[in-house]
Structure 1
Amino acid sequence: MSHFALTEQNEPAQSTVARTRVSRPRLQLVLNNNNLLITCVACAHQEQREISVAPNTLTSATVRQIQAKLNSLFEPTESRRWLEAKLPILEDRSPLELIEAGQSIRLLHMLIRLEEGTPS
């Protein structure tokens, strides 16, 4: 399981006698007007992608919920690849295409079912 956050900062490294906790890569989703900015900070590189969203179809709360579900299911680079992948269950569209088409709630429900292990 990975850990995503709505901030672009990595967790600080903390050391203990028993083990060392290192910074984890982050996936950041930020809604700005009708644009969703996706930033993947993984290893030594940072990737960004911005998509346009149909007006009034995506809220900050939905973005946070989608991000939380992605957090529980994927590592950041896997999450980015999954968001861009054409999926048969989505009629060979990608999850990002659902968001662009104003179907973010459908995507959120799909992530909830995946997290629960319920077949779609």
Structure 2
Amino acid sequence: MDEKIFQNVFDIVFDFLPEGWDRMVFFAGYTEGSYSMKFYSKAEKGEYVDCFNLPGASKAKLVKAFMEIDKVLSKNRKEQGATNAWTIFSMSVDNNGNMKTDFEYDDHSADMVAYEKKWVEKYLS
């Protein structure tokens, strides 16, 4: 994936990040016919906060933002073709602009809820 896509995703998420944020971790998971997105924000010396619990981040605004992100990510996945498309995209960004991205290609359709729990342990611990 190209850096412009990463920047586009971050720019959309950035509007929701609270003042004083230290690190943001984004998750996008795709299964057959659906997707799941979420991000977490952490303040310096603080705990991660689920995006749906951030001040001023209504569910409606988040869903709209995730739909915008999906337009960008789905286009990229289609360009890769059905057999080469990633299924999980993870991105972490700190307040100094350091970014790390990870992609997974395994099908998690049968166990996405269980997978998301493992993802939280891996990325938010």
Instruction: Output the TM-score relative to the length of structure 2.
Output: 0.35
Larger Cα-atom Rg: 1
Which structure carries more strand by proportion?
2
Instruction: Output the TM-score relative to the length of structure 1.
Output: 0.36
